[in-house]
């Protein structure tokens, strides 16, 4: 049973931040509520004030320019991203990821800001965005700062945000030339949360050598993590199956998955190795043909 709370409905982001400043210890932001209401029902969080930012127009936007890349207001829904022709053209992997994120109902109401803030290590957007070098702009009543997703996740369901801060924008840098990102989660049902997931971005130089690689693992530790050892295997290498295999093994070795009823720790490592190999290769193949 959800415990009682006072419902606050700010009219602007600024007002929301003021309320948040006031209730930073006993308040909670609700956006789509897709995750929050479940944990509230389980009694895991019991805020006294709930600040509803779902309908804030000033946080609901999507823009792209070749220099700054993609900017999405925090309340942009999953479905908006999925259906955006612009996103499909510039960042097709985001659309592919969104199409497999939960069901249409959840994507219709759930938001990108809420998803990233919820900090579930099994979330889909974080690995993909992190792999593309994404960041979030967080704001409080006293100012704004941009945090790279690399530094955003600190522990299980914990982020680098202070209690008076909220995500206002998600930023994805423009895609470099000869670069591609691929993402896959392993799950039992088509759009389930991943048992593990891997996002891989491969950037090639003119000679077809791997100039940069960012491998990000979902649900392979208490937070979304970079697989830096795997990246080392890839960067500077002339890519082939043997290298992908080695990268997979490196990722499997460096992750810290936790066993549960769906998969043992060993099996999770095995899956990480397979998916890393596959995604790195898929990204490479895509990067070769991309401008």
Residues that bind another protein (CB under 8 A): 1-7, 9, 30, 32-34, 37-38, 40-41, 50, 52, 54-55, 79, 99, 102-106, 108-109, 186, 188-193, 261-264, 267, 270-271, 274
Handedness of CA 94, 147, 167, 14 (dihedral sign): negative
* Pairwise CA distance, residues 99 & 178, whole Å: 25
* Pairwise CA distance, residues 68 & 71, whole Å: 8
Contacts of ligand FAD in 186-215 (CB under 6 A): 193
4 binds, among another protein, ligand FAD, none (CB under 5 to 8 A by kind): another protein
Residue 79 interacting with ligand FAD (CB under 6 A)? no
Q: Residue 35 CB, nearest distance to ligand FAD (Å)?
A: 3
262 binds, among another protein, ligand FAD, none (CB under 5 to 8 A by kind): another protein
Structure tokens at 223: 């937070």
Q: Count Cβ atoms below 10 Å from residue 14 Cβ, excluding itself.
A: 13
Stretch that binds ligand FAD, among 28-36, 127-135, 148-156, 219-227 (CB under 6 A): 28-36
Residue 110 interacting with ligand FAD (CB under 6 A)? yes
261 binds, among another protein, ligand FAD, none (CB under 5 to 8 A by kind): another protein
167 binds, among ligand FAD, another protein, none (CB under 5 to 8 A by kind): ligand FAD
Residue 101 interacting with ligand FAD (CB under 6 A)? yes
Q: What share of the chain is helix, strand, coil (3-state, %, to 5)?
A: 35, 25, 35
190 binds, among ligand FAD, another protein, none (CB under 5 to 8 A by kind): another protein
Q: Residue 142 CB, nearest distance to another protein (Å)?
A: 28
* Pairwise CA distance, residues 52 & 55, whole Å: 8
Question: Where does the chain show beta strands of DSSP type E?
Answer: 6-8, 27-30, 49-52, 62-65, 69-73, 135-140, 143-148, 153-155, 158-159, 166-172, 179-186, 196-204, 210-218, 225-226
CA-nearest of 163, 173, 185 to 275 is 185
Residues that bind ligand FAD (CB under 6 A): 28-36, 74, 78, 101-102, 106, 110-111, 113-115, 117-118, 123-125, 166-167, 193
């Amino acid at each position: 049973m959800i415990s009682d709370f006072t419902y606050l409905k700010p009219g602007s982001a600024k007002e929301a931040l003021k309320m948040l400043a006031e209730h930073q210890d006993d308040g909670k932001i609700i956006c789509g509520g897709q995750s929050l209401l479940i944990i509230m029902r389980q009694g895991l969080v019991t805020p006294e004030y709930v600040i509803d930012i779902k309908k804030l127009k000033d946080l609901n936007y999507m823009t792209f320019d070749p220099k700054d890349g993609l900017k999405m207001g925090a309340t942009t829904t999953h479905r908006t991203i999925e259906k955006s022709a612009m996103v499909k053209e510039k960042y097709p992997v985001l659309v592919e990821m969104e199409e497999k994120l939960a069901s249409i109902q959840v994507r219709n109401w759930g938001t990108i800001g809420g998803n990233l803030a919820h900090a579930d290590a099994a979330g889909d957007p974080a690995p993909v965005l992190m792999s593309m070098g994404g960041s979030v702009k967080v704001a409080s009543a006293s100012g704004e700062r941009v945090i790279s997703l690399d530094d955003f996740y600190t522990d299980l369901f914990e982020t680098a945000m202070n209690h008076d801060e909220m995500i206002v924008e998600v930023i994805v840098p423009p895609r470099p030339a000869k670069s591609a990102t691929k993402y896959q989660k392993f799950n039992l049902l088509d759009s389930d949360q991943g048992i593990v997931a891997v996002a891989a971005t491969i950037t090639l130089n003119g000679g077809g050598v791997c100039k940069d690689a960012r491998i990000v693992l979902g649900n392979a530790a208490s937070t979304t993590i970079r697989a830096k050892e795997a990246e080392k295997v890839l960067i500077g290498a002339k890519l082939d199956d043997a290298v992908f295999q080695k990268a997979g093994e490196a990722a499997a070795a460096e992750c810290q998955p936790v066993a549960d009823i769906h998969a043992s720790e060993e099996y999770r490592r095995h899956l990480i190795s397979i998916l890393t190999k596959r995604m790195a290769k898929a990204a490479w193949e895509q990067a070769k043909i991309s401008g």
